[in-house]
Structure 1
């Protein structure tokens, strides 16, 4: 009974919070980026983020045309049963690797790669072995024998896009929510920022990343992106607490004991930061 009452109370909060959307268009279907596609509710303004920051990178991610369907790694499509509103226009490869935590790590790595901050690209395998992209660029590759993992210098130094993607696929293969959750630091929902991740480490686990934010006084709202299983394109999530006949993607950070997304429910204590 308590869970039911909490769910009803949460739905009422969201209905009140987003009432202004009745009189204001919430989605600009012509928008080509997250920032252009999703309009803020009345009274809200997007947070001010530093130029060339990770936050600015995320809110300016390119989107496929409105009504596009998410594609799996094998080219088939994921039907949209009130799960997502838009598809992020980034390639994911043709292997079943780009799943939830992988997509989060990929966004972090892509940002640093674009900024040429190669030394900041590193992730841990599930066994704890740290894999730095800077070593990969030098020509080192991963050798795995049983439970032992090590570096071997077997290739020429390169920073090509093709070799960078091979590095990511190694990460996707041997890292996941369990390892990423250990790498990240817990943070309070009241201090939520773009780039923070709701993550449940485990087998299976799940992860979604905050890709945009807006505020109205001490009220904060945010947008979420995810990949999932099997490997699929990143997608901007709909808010399931809003009536299905009103397409709203903004989530409220206020009074958030749990975060209900279309395909997973997180505890507020599962918010973490790089």
Structure 2
């Protein structure tokens, strides 16, 4: 009985410590999730992808993750949800969500020439060709450019481009175009990926470091199957919701990534 009481007090203490590091009224990662004692966020540039993720709007604390059809995600593996609109079709899954965030970041800063992704057959698809009134015609395994379409407003053209990418890209194509990265150089905006069918990817949303020990921790986010809102993952074995950065197998609630799975755009 005494053991059970002590164990209960231990977990209550842990929950209390965790809650002290969460500002439920915060509207972004940088406002809501404070690094644990002894840690501080690694520096990123103001207009970097990492800072874009840290400051991305979050839904109200406690909001459920919704699927594309309006149903709630059953597996409660998340601690917060990005204010991340979905299409009403099953298109924005794990890799698509990471692609969308990267593309939206580049779009925000007018870096249209850098918005370019491969599709699964290896073909590279630049956004600027959509912007110039070109479209891709898919016939079986053949994909060809066709010009002469009426030029749309920039945002409309961008949305059409993303819908095409969602339909024909995935973890396989993303893993082939990304660059492998050393875990020691991890930064917000990197991602752990297994390119396959099925495959999966989780995005590194934030990184903090203990200046005394040099140990790093990270926040991870994902979408999943079927299409669902992008969410910040809980950590069941580390300093919830932070994960320790280790050069080992990474276990997340819905996928395990092998050593060497870290990549960057």
Residue 146 (structure 1) aligned with residue 140 (structure 2) = yes
Could you tell me the TM-score, scaled by structure 1's length? 0.87
Matched-pair contact (CA < 8 Å) for 1:240–1:260: no
User: What corresponds to 1:37 in structure 2?
Assistant: 32
Aligned-residue offset at 1:80: 4.6
Q: Which string of whole-angstrom CA distances, capped at 9 and with x for unpartnered residues, describes residues 167-196 of structure 1?
A: 111101101001100001111211111111
Matched-pair contact (CA < 8 Å) for 1:200–1:207: yes
Could you tell me the TM-score, scaled by structure 2's length? 0.90
User: What secondary structure, in the 3-state scheme, does the structure 2 residue paired with 1:77 have?
Assistant: coil
CA root-mean-square deviation: 2.0
User: What secondary structure, in the 3-state scheme, does the structure 1 residue paired with 2:83 have?
Assistant: coil
Structure 2 CA distance for partners of 1:20 and 1:268, relative to 1, 3 Å: farther
| Alignment of structure 1 residues 23-34 onto 2, 5 Å | 25-34=20-29
The number of residue pairs the alignment matches comes to 252
Matched-pair contact (CA < 8 Å) for 1:124–1:180: yes
| Alignment of structure 1 residues 23-172 onto 2, 5 Å | 25-81=20-76, 83-172=77-166
In structure 2, the gaps of 5 or more residues are: 1-13
Q: Which string of whole-angstrom CA distances, capped at 9 and with x for unpartnered residues, describes residues 8-67 of structure 1?
A: xxxxxxxxxxx7973871211111001111010101111111111111101111100011
Q: 2:178 aligns with which of 161, 175, 184?
A: 184
Matched-pair contact (CA < 8 Å) for 1:219–1:253: yes
Structure 2 CA distance for partners of 1:195 and 1:21, relative to 1, 3 Å: farther
User: What secondary structure, in the 3-state scheme, does the structure 1 residue paired with 2:158 have?
Assistant: helix
Structure 2 CA distance for partners of 1:159 and 1:49, relative to 1, 3 Å: farther
Structure 1 residue runs of 4 or more that deviate by more than 6 Å after TM superposition: none
Aligned-residue offset at 1:136: 0.5
User: What secondary structure, in the 3-state scheme, does the structure 1 residue paired with 2:105 have?
Assistant: helix
User: What corresponds to 1:231 in structure 2?
Assistant: 227
Q: Which string of whole-angstrom CA distances, capped at 9 and with x for unpartnered residues, describes residues 230-260 of structure 1?
A: 0001000001214xxxx81111113x41111
Residue 174 (structure 1) aligned with residue 147 (structure 2) = no
Q: 1:248 aligns with which of 237, 240, 244?
A: 240
